């Protein structure tokens, strides 16, 4: 039988293979827990399995707030955007972000993600959509990993936390597990999803959608950038070296679960003085492109009743969509507006605008869609729909085409993941936790929507200042970032432990993946 010393040396060799960046040496038993930073005084071994962790040991598994924030701000050197702070002098963190998907800045952030996770002993896989999966081995590697995921791309005038917090918190999770020599029962990983924002290539969550099997990879690869509109996703993936050979598919890269930490992007947590949002689902939404066609003509020689003003008609439609939303407890927004010919002294003859409709229930979005399809042609024909003519002189009739671009039904997350988040949040926040936690439905779409179609999923929200997001002023307090990362870390550990408990009691995996 091998001696304790030889078993210890063998374990260190295994650790060196698994975590090469840690450069483990054989310390004396007195030094274990100090130089190796594990800090588990209750365990006689330098390793500990998640199945062995009680609440006291879970409490000792702590996120390093300073290190997390350093990673966030370090990655924000790639794609630094507009300044929002009031400092005249150097204040490097008081800027937003402009890191569009598959840009040179995005490549730099991706390279950092790959090198950092590989240094932590992860196996990195890149699929055909450029999704990057970094997996830390567990004790049972014949089953899919539990993943933490979000995205590193931003809006053109975005902030430092949307998506970025979720990815860096996942890497912090890997670092904490390595620091403390924690062995998970199953592999755990971090995924960076490509083009979640849909800002450069106009389909949000497109790459997780391909992974889930909802969006054909050919359609995604052929997406053309919005401005200037020459590059495609496929050409840019190839250009920056992230067109992976692994198929973008849940079958090629299966997940046992997907957890995502994100800023709320709304004001509810801050207004209610809550610290953690337990996200139980995501509201439904649809995107449309509305094309209004009239007639371009001279502004000085064409009287009002003889005009077919596409911009005026489009404005009536946009206003009417807001009235419909108010009446049906929904949301309606227009974020893109293009007109032709674009001359001061020419009445616009063609207008194209986006329409984003959202509501917690699929039925509400369906009702809104029916009303838009009914009323927009009437407005184009010159009818006064609920006062939409605004006292304007009626001109000539126009035509309208309404194209549905994207449909995301309401999503309900998995009860097991929600339970893991709930238990973690209550355990971390302590006796007053009930006053600090809120169950929430996400108003925004996230990659977790598509992940939930193929594996158990949930999300964790933390408050952001004034609910502002997609804006350089987007801000989340350091302590709130760390608290969210702490809940994320513990949720993954609890889920890993639950998988093992169910394997023992059920003699099989609890989910079909």
- Pair 58, 490: CB distance under 8 Å: yes
Pick the closest to residue 12 from 20, 41, 177 (CA basis).
20
| pLDDT score of 55 more than 70 | yes
DSSP character at residue 306: G
Residues 6+ apart with CB under 8 A from 468: 159, 474, 475
Q: Are residues 232 and 363 located together in one domain of the fold?
A: no
CA–CA gap between residue 488 and residue 147 (Å, rounded): 11
DSSP 385-447: STTTTTTPPP----EEEEEEEEEE--EE--HHHHHHHHHHHHHHHGGGGGGTEEEEEESS--H
DSSP state of 32: T
Percent of residues in the chain assigned helix, strand, coil, to nearest 5 = 40, 20, 40
Across the range 162-173, mean pLDDT stands at 98
pLDDT, tens digit, 9 for 90 and up, residues 105-149: 999 999 999 999 999 999 999 999 999 999 999 999 999 999 999
Give the pair of three-digit tokens for residue 347: 């009445």
Going from the C-alpha of 409 to that of each of 199, 236, 283, 364, 454, the distances in angstroms are: 21, 29, 7, 11, 15
pLDDT for 11 equals: 43
For the cut 60, the answer to whether the pLDDT of residue 7 exceeds it is: no
Cβ-contact 92, 100 below 8 angstroms: no
- Nearest in space to 188 (alpha carbons), one of 241, 133, 107, 231: 133
What is the domain count for the chain? 3
Q: Does residue 292 lie in a domain region?
A: yes
Calculate what percentage of the chain has a pLDDT beyond 70.
Answer: 88
**Are 113 and 133 within one domain?**
yes
* CB atoms near residue 370 (< 10 Å): 10
Structure token digits, residue 99: 């890191």
First to last CA, the chain: 40
Q: Which residue has the higher pLDDT, 388 or 434?
A: 434
pLDDT tens-place string over residues 350-389: 999 999 999 999 999 999 999 999 999 999 999 999 876 7
Q: List CB contacts of 97: < 8 A, sequence separation 6 or more.
A: 76, 79, 80, 81, 154, 155, 158, 159, 160, 164, 472
Q: Which residue has the higher pLDDT, 37 or 316?
A: 316
Give the per-residue pLDDT at 408. Answer: 86
Domain shared by 68 and 212, yes or no? yes
Q: In terms of C-beta distances under 8 Å and separation of at least 24 residues, what long-range contacts does 132-135 make, across chains too?
A: 132/191, 132/192, 132/242, 133/189, 133/190, 133/191, 133/253, 134/174, 134/189, 134/190, 134/191, 135/187, 135/188, 135/189
Residue 23 — very low, low, confident or very high, per pLDDT cuts 50/70/90?
very low
Q: Which of 357, 382, 408 is the last residue of a domain?
A: 408
Instruction: Based on the fold, state whether residues 240 and 342 are members of the same structural domain.
Output: no
Encode pLDDT of 226-269 as tens digits. Answer: 887 789 999 999 999 999 999 999 999 999 999 999 999 999 99
pLDDT(444) > 90? no
- 291 and 342 in a single domain? The answer is yes
Q: Is residue 511 part of a domain?
A: no
pLDDT of residue 91: 75
What are the contacts of 15-23 at 24+ separation with CB within 8 A?
15/47, 15/181, 17/121, 18/121, 18/136, 18/137, 19/120, 19/121, 19/178, 20/119, 20/121, 21/119, 21/120, 21/121, 22/121, 22/178
Question: Which tens digit of pLDDT belongs to each residue from 466-478?
Answer: 999 999 999 999 9
State the Cα angle at 15 between 11 and 21, rounded to 5°.
155
Q: Are residues 89 and 46 in the same domain?
A: no
Would you say 481 and 320 are in contact if contact means Cβ atoms under 8 Å apart?
no
Q: Is 86 in the same domain as 188?
A: yes
Q: Which of 408, 434, 453 is the last residue of a domain?
A: 408
pLDDT in tens, 379-417: 999 999 987 676 777 799 999 999 998 888 999 999 999
Q: How long a stretch of residues is the chain?
A: 513
Quick one: 31 and 119 in the same domain? no
pTM as predicted = 0.81
Residues 85 and 224 in one domain: yes
Residue from 17, 220, 253 nearest 133 by CA: 253
pLDDT confidence bin for 508, thresholds 50/70/90:
very low
The per-residue pLDDT for 387 is 76
Instruction: Note whether residue 372 is domain-resident.
Output: yes
Specify if 444 maps to a domain: yes
Q: Which domain holds residue 257?
A: 60-283+410-502
Looking at the structure, tell me whether residues 391 and 420 fall in a common domain. Answer: no
Q: Is residue 512 part of a domain?
A: no
- Whether 20 is covered by a domain: the verdict is yes
In the predicted structure, residue 85 carries a pLDDT above the cut 80? no
Q: What is the mean pLDDT of residues 457-466?
A: 97
Residue at which a domain ends, from 361, 384, 408: 408
Give domain status of residue 101, yes or no. yes
Does residue 316 share a domain with residue 245?
Answer: no
How many whole angstroms from its chain centre is CA 78?
19
Q: In this structure, what token pair is assigned to residue 297?
A: 């003509």
Verify that 243 and 117 share a domain, yes or no: yes
- Provide the CATH number for the domain around residue 302: 3.30.70.360
Answer whether residue 330 is part of any domain.
Answer: yes
Give the domain CATH number at 471: 3.40.630.10
β-strand 188-192 against 146-150: which pairing, if any?
parallel
């Amino acid at each position: 039988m091998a001696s304790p010393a030889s078993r210890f040396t063998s374990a260190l060799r295994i650790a060196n293979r698994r975590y090469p960046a840690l450069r483990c040496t054989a310390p004396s038993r007195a030094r274990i827990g100090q130089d190796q930073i594990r800090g588990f005084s209750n365990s006689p071994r330098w390793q500990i399995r998640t199945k062995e962790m009680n609440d006291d040991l879970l409490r000792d598994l702590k996120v390093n707030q300073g290190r997390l924030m350093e990673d966030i701000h370090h990655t924000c050197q790639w794609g630094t955007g507009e300044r929002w702070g009031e400092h005249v002098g150097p204040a490097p963190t008081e800027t937003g972000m402009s890191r569009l998907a598959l840009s040179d800045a995005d490549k730099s952030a991706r390279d950092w993600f790959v090198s950092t996770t590989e240094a932590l002993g992860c196996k990195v896989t890149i699929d055909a959509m450029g999704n990057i999966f970094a997996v830390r081995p567990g004790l049972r590697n014949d089953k899919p990993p539990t993943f933490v995921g979000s995205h590193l791309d931003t809006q053109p005038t975005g902030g430092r936390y949307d998506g970025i917090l979720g990815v860096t918190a996942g890497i912090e999770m890997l670092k904490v597990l390595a620091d403390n020599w924690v062995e998970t029962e199953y592999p755990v990983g971090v995924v960076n999803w490509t083009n979640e924002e849909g800002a450069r290539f106009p389909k949000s969550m497109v790459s997780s959608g391909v992974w889930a099997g909802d969006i054909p990879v050919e359609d995604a690869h052929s997406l053309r950038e919005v401005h200037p509109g020459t590059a495609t996703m496929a050409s840019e993936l190839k250009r920056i070296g992230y067109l992976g050979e692994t198929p973008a598919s849940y079958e090629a890269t299966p997940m046992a679960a997907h957890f995502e930490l994100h800023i709320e992007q709304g004001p509810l947590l801050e207004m209610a003085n809550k610290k953690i949002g337990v996200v139980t689902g995501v509201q439904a939404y649809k995107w449309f492109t509305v094309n209004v066609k009239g007639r371009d003509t001279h502004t000085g020689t064409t009287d009002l009743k003889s005009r077919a003003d596409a911009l005026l008609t489009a404005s009536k439609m946009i206003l009417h969509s807001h009235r419909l939303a108010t009446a049906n407890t929904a949301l309606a927004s227009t974020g893109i507006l293009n007109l032709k010919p674009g001359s001061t002294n020419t009445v616009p003859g063609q207008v194209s605008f986006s329409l984003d409709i959202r509501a917690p229930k699929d039925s509400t979005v369906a009702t809104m869609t029916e009303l838009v399809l009914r009323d927009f042609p009437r407005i184009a024909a010159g009818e006064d729909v609920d006062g939409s003519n605004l006292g304007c002189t009626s001109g000539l009739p126009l035509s309208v085409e309404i194209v549905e671009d994207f449909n995301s039904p309401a999503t309900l997350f998995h009860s097991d993941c929600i339970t893991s988040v709930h238990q973690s949040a209550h355990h971390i926040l302590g006796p007053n936790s009930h006053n600090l936690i809120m169950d929430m439905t996400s108003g925004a779409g996230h990659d977790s929507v598509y992940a939930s179609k193929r594996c158990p999923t949930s999300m964790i929200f933390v408050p952001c200042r004034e609910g502002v997001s997609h804006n350089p002023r987007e801000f989340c307090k350091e302590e709130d970032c760390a608290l969210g990362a702490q809940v994320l870390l513990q949720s993954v550990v609890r889920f890993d432990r639950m998988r093992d408990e169910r394997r023992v009691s059920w003699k099989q995996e609890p989910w079909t993946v």
